[in-house]
Structure 1
Amino acid sequence: MIRIDTAGSMTFRRTRTRWLTSICGGAMVLVQLDGAAVAGCAELPVLGEGVVASVIDARTLRLADGAEVRLAGIEPAGEQPEAAEALLTALTLGRRVVLHGADDVPDRYGRQRAFVALQAGGELVQRRLLAEGRALVGIDRAPTDCRKDLLAAEAAARGAALGIWVQENVIKNAANSGDMVARTGRFTLVEGRVVSVREVGSTVYLNFSGRWTRGFAVTISRRIAGANEAAGPALKSLTGQRIRVRGWIEHRAGPVIVVRDLAQMERAGGD
């Protein structure tokens, strides 16, 4: 919780790990959208509030007391973030915002990560950016209902071809490994059919190409996979399934996305 005194400064009181773990345990499963949207993000504990003095970039705000807030749950969309920054400015500049989250520990740059609502009970800024096609759902851990709401907003913008979704190649084809290599180090949505699932040592590989040493793959530690298969389908059952995965492209023998939370993946067959 953050207490705001009469001078407008914010004092943090940590409310962290146990609550976050208990509500996120069910979130690390494959998410299949059912069209339902729920306001889970704005129901997270209130961390504090303040007036937005400036917009630093497409997902970072500076409050009047100098505190910096990083929008949780989303990543910049497209190669030119100016449109997202303009929308964020129009939504928040000079307005009082309420910060929601389960962790009030700043990141290494001193920024508070939070879900940001326009006043108490107001519109969630992240959802608006997603709904207008100016952001992508990120891979921050979040309660299941919160994540479903964000994914639903992204899906609605995609269906309406809004913002970046007017382009046809926002979601990359897993079969085109060359395209993946070009995006090394960048947050990317990739979609394709799982050709095989292999377990090598402590790692599970979801291969999207028959040339599994060079084609695109998703890697998941056996510890993460085993801890979550009780709540969802076994990973081996995904062979032949069409999957969408989000994360940062790394280049090893071939391009990979390292999955640290199974919520990074969703079935794409129903789109």
Structure 2
Amino acid sequence: MHAWRLALLPLLILTAALQPAEARTHRAHHKPHKERTAKGTHGLIPAGNGVVIGVLSGDTVTLRDGRVVRLAGILAPKMGAPKGARTAQAGSSQDENAGRTPWPLAGESRHALEELVLNRTVKLMLGGVDHDRYGRILAHLMVRDGRRLVWVQDALLRQGWAELAPHPDAPKGLAALRRAEDHAREGKLGLWADGFYAVRDPDTAFRAQGRYAVVTGRVLDAADARDRVYLNFGADRRTDFTVEIDRRDMAAFRARHLSPLDLKDRLVEVRGWMEEHNGPMIRVTNPDQIITTDGRWPHRRPVRGQKEDKDGGDAAPAASDP
């Protein structure tokens, strides 16, 4: 072997030995960025992507492929629409907004959603029931913001442009959404700065008739009456505010080892659609509509900085379903 080749041999061996280490160093400095998911969304099921081309209201969007998506777990102000108006879903003559008077701040709520998702690709995530009675997809939406995904429901609740509206098939991440709403309520942000959306007490619950409402108060009596359970918040059952739970919905309470009868003398917060039946009434279909504010079942501290409406608030336009 030539002398010059022998002289180069140690250098070649050293170069070969260093290559794997250099490659490892290169890979270490060029790791792909891991996408940061939104907190509280673990357990939601991915259901593909879509591009939002229209925002119908603060909780409903249309995708480029024609699908209509209703944001699960929240309720935004109703936009209002003429009777018989057609939805964006082909072939449907039913519209939850048909015949409604627009609710206060409905336009602002829709604009907030437009700012988040319009003309952008969103990721659909399912948390249980995947369609509503109008055939719309019930989904949680995620939109990219740099390296992280923003949970659209969480953002709207945190800004105060929607209310938490738990579905009977409780969505994953409900605790995170509740904290987001609490943030807006404490700061009187968005809807919570308007008396129309004020949290009611039992004496003023009637002012929210026909719309989704939040009521706080003490349960004076809890009664099991044949096929229903009633929670009464006043002395006169014919006129006071009442919560009604149908027997068929009690299974959801039993599954969590909860009994509405245990709520007697407890301070609670209840949310749902306000009806008129021997006084103002909310029909509760799942345990997540009721929160205790004085202890476990499950417990949540009262929201700071927000007083119940006692002597005011606008009458609510007629409403039906969320």
- Shorter-chain TM-score: what band? 0.7 to 0.9
Instruction: Give the secondary-structure state (helix, strand or coil) at the position aligned to 2:173.
Output: helix
Are 2:49 and 2:123, in contact at CA under 8 Å, matched by a contact in 1? yes
User: Which residue identity does 2:70 align to in structure 1?
Assistant: R
In the alignment, structure 2 segments of 5+ residues that lack a partner are 1-37, 78-102, 295-300, 303-322
Give yes or no for contact 1:43–1:100 (8 Å, CA) kept in 2: no
Is 1:50–2:77 an aligned residue pair? no
- In 1, distance between residues paired with 2:272 and 2:75? 10
1:166 corresponds to which of 168, 193, 197: 193
Q: Residue 221 of structure 1 is aligned with which of 246, 253, 259?
A: 246
Deviation, structure 1 residue 217: 0.4
Q: Within 2, Cα distance between the matches of 1:101 and 1:233?
A: 26
Q: Report the Cα distance in structure 1 between the residues aligned to 2:149 and 2:170, rounded to whole angstroms.
A: 19
Q: Partner residue of 1:74?
A: 74
Identity %: 31
Q: Which moved more, 1:243-252 or 1:72-81?
A: 72-81
Higher relative contact order (CA 8 A, sep 6+): 1
Using a 3 Å threshold, how does the CA distance of structure 1 residues 249 and 96 change in structure 2: closer, same or farther? Answer: same
> 1:132 and 2:169 equivalent?
no
Give, in angstroms, the shift of residue 106 of structure 1. Answer: 3.7
Offset of residue 163 of structure 1: 1.3
Moved more, 61-70 or 135-144: 135-144
Change (3 A) 1:93 1:190: same
* Matching residue of 1:92: 117
Pick from 251, 255, 267 the counterpart of residue 276 of structure 2: 251
CA deviation vs aligned residue, 1:140-162 (integer Å, no higher than 9, x gap): 14557511111110011111221
Length-normalised TM-score, structure 2: 0.66
Match of 1:264 in 2: 289
**Partner residue, 2:62:** 62
Partner of 1:147: 174
Any conservation in 2 of the 1:248–1:257 contact (CA below 8 Å)?
A: yes
- Residues 109-147 of structure 1: per-residue CA shift (max 9 Å, x gap): 332110000049611101000001111001214557511
Gaps of 5+ in 1: 1-37
Cα distance in 1 for partners of 2:46, 2:143 equals 13
Equivalent pair of 1:241/1:267 in contact (CA under 8 Å): yes
Hey, what's the Cα distance between the residues in 2 that align with 1:122 and 1:241? 39
- How far apart, in 2, do the equivalents of 1:121 and 1:109 lie? 32
Encode CA deviations 1:13-52: one digit per residue, 9 max, x unaligned. xxxxxxxxxxxxxxxxxxxxxxxxx834364111121111
The CA deviation at 1:225 is 3.4
Which of the two has greater strand per residue? 1
Larger Rg: 2
Note if contact 2:127-2:171 (Cα within 8 Å) is conserved in structure 1: no
Structure 1, 72-81 or 82-91: larger mean CA deviation: 72-81
Distance 1:104 1:199 in 2: 29
Residue type of the alignment partner of 2:158: A
Q: Is the contact between residue 184 and residue 192 of structure 2 (CA under 8 Å) also seen in structure 1?
A: yes
Q: For the residues of structure 1 that align with 2:213 and 2:246, how far apart are their CA atoms?
A: 20
Per-residue CA deviations over 1:225-263 (Å, capped at 9, x if unaligned) read 366246344333322211111111111122111111011
The residue number in structure 1 matching 2:311 is: none
